[in-house]
Amino acid sequence: MKRKLTAAIGIAGMMVSIAACGGEGGGGSDKGADAKELTVWLTVDAQNNWPELVKAADAAVKKKHPGVKINHEYYGWPDKNAKLDAVLATDKVPDVVEMGNTEMLGYMVKGAFAPLDQAKFDNSDAWLDGLKASVTYQDKTYGVPYYAGGRVANWRKDVAASVGVKSAPRTYKELTAALDKIQKKQGDKYNAWYQPTRDWYAAMSFVYDAGGAIATESGGQWKASLSSPESLKGLKEFKNVVDSYMHGDKTKDESDRYIVYGQGKSAMIFAAAWEGATAEDPKNDKTGKLKGNLENFVMPGPSGKNMPVFLGGSDLAVPVKSDAQALAAEWINALTGSSGQKGLMAKGNLPNNKTDLATLKNDPKTAVPATAAESNWFVPMAPGWGQVEKAQILQTMLQSIGTGKKSVEAAAKDADAAIDKVINTK
């Protein structure tokens, strides 16, 4: 089945070459500008957290194109790509699809998405560097940054105050000292720091803070480097956090972290900036005590500097087989443009551009995530990175480490071997 899906994307790759010869589809031409129907695939994040922004984008397009029908389908992150791969083998594809920015490269390499004219999208000259890189392949633009999701620490001020800590820690030593006190007081069934073991975004922050990396490039070839002394140092500290403060299921990922946090059995998370605000929403706060008691702060790293955070987020792309490419590009700009960015920032997201990011640093309410985003890392821009993610190599390694199934050294060595098999494969 995997071979068939790869072949299907390969066919799409040949089609994009043909499209490019006749002009850049989507934002580059009028192809599909008079389409009467649009199908948009987004993840459940939009459905659950900012449905009004999606409706506003619909309204803007419908105002310009009366009578157009816009269909929405929502998917969870774990199963989205399998569904996308399957439809790319057919002639019935979505016109807009949301992609995690680390997922873009593999699809761009295979030619699955139509090239777009970057100049036709709001604030494109100021897109954040990491996000711009995620939609660029061989000097062409194949997507539009949607929003960014930096990581911050978030903890319960009331729980910290109960052990005599009245201000957010500025150093890693201060942080662990406070967490040790909280853990001791609350007991071994409590998570002083709820840190899902399979959360590779957090784990790799420790790796990069220690001077390590997932992989390094030399002479055009990428090689995994999780077994380097620096990377191992970071992974061992991550394991120390999980062993010391995470007393929940050691096989979980971060997908429902805000829900678990809202249940009141955790004092801290290191997560996307919106997760704290979502946890204190009355529908998620099972304690009734989180509103006004949660505080974001810049995560200090063991190195003594601010912890480098993954500057992740989502991009929106137009499949090359779409018959409504120009209309799809209009819808994307309606959601990701200036007004959309203001709405997304109000939900705790980082914007897709430097101009709006600067305004966040000047606001005490948003200065923390904006400041944290200044120290960041991104995934290796290697042709086979998409295969690394699909195979969940990092998650498997971290689960083995967290559950004690393998030593840090053995798990890292196995992960390196698995990464090296695919990271240079187009």
Residue 43 CB contacts under 8 Å (≥ 6 apart), including other chains:
74, 75, 76, 77, 80, 98, 314
Q: Mark the ranges of the chain whose per-residue pLDDT is less than 70.
A: 1-30
Global pTM reads: 0.75
Distance CA 102, CA 96 (A): 17
Strands 144-149, 312-317: parallel, antiparallel or unpaired by DSSP? antiparallel
Fold of domain 151-310+380-422: D-Maltodextrin-Binding Protein; domain 2 (3.40.190)
Going from N- to C-terminal start, the domains of the chain cover 2-149+311-377, 151-310+380-422
Distance CA 95, CA 85 (A): 14
Distance CA 265, CA 272 (A): 19
Spell 147-180 as b/e; 16+ CB within 10 A means b.
Answer: bbbbbbbbbbbebbeebebeebbeebeebbebbe
| Spatial CA neighbour of 424 closest among 379, 380, 378 | 380
User: How many other CB atoms sit within 10 Å of the CB of residue 221?
Assistant: 11
Domains 2-149+311-377 and 151-310+380-422 share a fold: yes
- Strand ranges of the sheet holding 151-156, from the earlier edge strand across to the other edge: 268-272, 151-156, 294-297
Distance CA 230, CA 209 (A): 9
Distance CA 279, CA 155 (A): 11
- pLDDT, residue 78, reads 81
CB 214 within 8 A of CB 419: yes
Tokens of 30: 């009028």
Q: Domain 2-149+311-377 is in which class? A: alpha beta
Burial of 220 per CB tally in 10 Å (0-12, 13-18, 19+): exposed
Q: Three-state DSSP class for 254? A: coil
Q: What is the pLDDT of residues 267-320, one digit of tens each?
A: 999 998 889 999 999 999 999 999 999 999 999 999 999 999 998 889 999 999
